[in-house]
Amino acid sequence: MNISEVMLDAGIRKATEAGLLARDATDSEKAFNRALIRAVLEAALGEQHGGNSSCAAQSALRARDRWSFFSSK
């Protein structure tokens, strides 16, 4: 199942409301958060539909590695 922008926006909104993501994030942090929420949704949907969640986990690790330079401020 493809993740729509509506699903991604809802995930980001809920994570922000729960205090998991900063409300005043910079543009680079927002891009990083978007990649993380996408990976979480891919993993959740993969599990729900009996898919291979390891693919989503590998995608999350690639996203983390790609954006890791943001955390080394």
The per-residue pLDDT for 63 is 62
The residue ranges of every structural domain in the chain are 5-71
Residues comprising the chain, all counted: 73
pTM check: above 0.85: no
The per-residue pLDDT for 43 is 85
The per-residue pLDDT for 73 is 47
Classify burial at 26, counting beta carbons within 10 Å of its beta carbon; exposed 0-12, middle 13-18, buried 19 or more. Answer: exposed
Q: Provide the residue-wise pLDDT of the chain in tens; the chain has 73 residues.
A: 688 999 999 999 999 999 999 999 999 999 999 999 998 898 888 866 665 555 656 666 666 665 555 555 4
- Cβ count within 10 A of residue 60: 17
